[in-house]
Structure 1
Amino acid sequence: MPTPDAATFAEQWVRAWNDHDVEAVLAHFHDDVVFTSPVAARLLPETAGVVRGKDALRHYWATALRMLPDLHFEVVGVYRGESLLVVNYRNERGGLVNEVLTFDGALVREGHGTYLE
């Protein structure tokens, strides 16, 4: 299965995040996306870190943005695999994060936020 152009995707992704435009970020995701993140587990404990569906992902990210008004990402690198992109970025606190995105066609079917411990 083809993978989107890594540079183009990362440019759109980081612009949407830095604009705090949740809908622009969500435009890259299937309606039945599954997204895992330890941040989701902390902010929305009922999820146990697993967010299912675009509406739930919208709620998670909107909640996170309200709590992190200074959120800003800087892309460090983008890695391409078969139907997979990994976006390595630095957040507003200087922490390194990887977002691992599995594609089904042009849209993300599954994503994982991973953080340096």
Structure 2
Amino acid sequence: MTRLSRSDLEHHATTWIEAWNRHDVGAVIEPFAADAVFVSPRAATVTGDATVRGRDALHAYWIKALDAVPDLVFKLESAVCDEAAQTVLVHYVSHAGGRTLRACELMRFENGRQIYGEAFYGADLTQASV
């Protein structure tokens, strides 16, 4: 059974941000297990359901979502890693579609593959001081 080290989890957070900033959906979904589950209120606006099941469905969702925000850029704020639980919470600032938001994503791994992800979004910071 593959277990990710703290360093592996931190590396995942940085490479995940970099992949999003390149708009490389293939690289974003590469760590996901085939039957992974992702939960996000934003998914509901694109797919009709806040829960996306399976790597292929995630790929389709993120391709469609990126089409709507071609200016998407993430800035990593922090990554909180729990090696025992095989989780990383990635805290970032998202700039897309003229909006700036604080966000975070909880990522859970099993056997070295991401099996679960959940996105959380804060208030729109576009008019506020960040």
Q: Which band: TM-score by shorter chain?
A: over 0.9
The whole-number CA distance in structure 2 between the counterparts of 1:75 and 1:113 is: 14
Q: Which residue of 2 aligns with 1:101?
A: 107
Within a 5 Å distance, the mapping from 1:1-117 to structure 2 comes to 2-4=3-5, 5-45=8-48, 48-81=49-82, 82-92=85-95, 93-117=99-123
Deviation track 1:53-90 (CA, whole Å, cap 9, x = no partner) reads 00000011001100000001001000011211100000
Normalising by structure 2, what TM-score?
A: 0.83
For 2:127, the equivalent position in structure 1 comes to none
Relative contact order (alpha carbons < 8 A, sep ≥ 6): 1 or 2 greater?
Answer: 1
* Contact in 1 for aligned 2:9/2:87 (Cα 8 Å): no
Inter-partner Cα distance in structure 1 for 2:40 and 2:52: 8
Q: Please report the TM-score for the alignment, with normalisation by the length of structure 1.
A: 0.92
Count matched residues.
115
Structure 1 stretches of 5 or more lacking a match? none
Offset of residue 7 of structure 1: 2.6
Q: Distance in 1 between matches of 2:4 and 2:100?
A: 29
- Measured on the aligned residues, the alpha-carbon RMSD in Å equals 1.3
Per-residue CA deviations over 1:32-65 (Å, capped at 9, x if unaligned) read 00000000011111xx200000000001100110
The runs of 4+ residues in structure 1 deviating greater than 2 Å are 1-7
Q: Deviations over 1:73-114 (max 9, x none)?
A: 001000011211100000013201110001002110010011
Describe the SS at the equivalent of 2:23. coil
* Displacement of 1:2: 3.2
- The share of aligned pairs that are identical, in percent, is 35
Asked if the contact 2:10/2:88 (under 8 Å) is kept, the reply is: no
Bigger radius of gyration: 2
More strand by percentage:
2
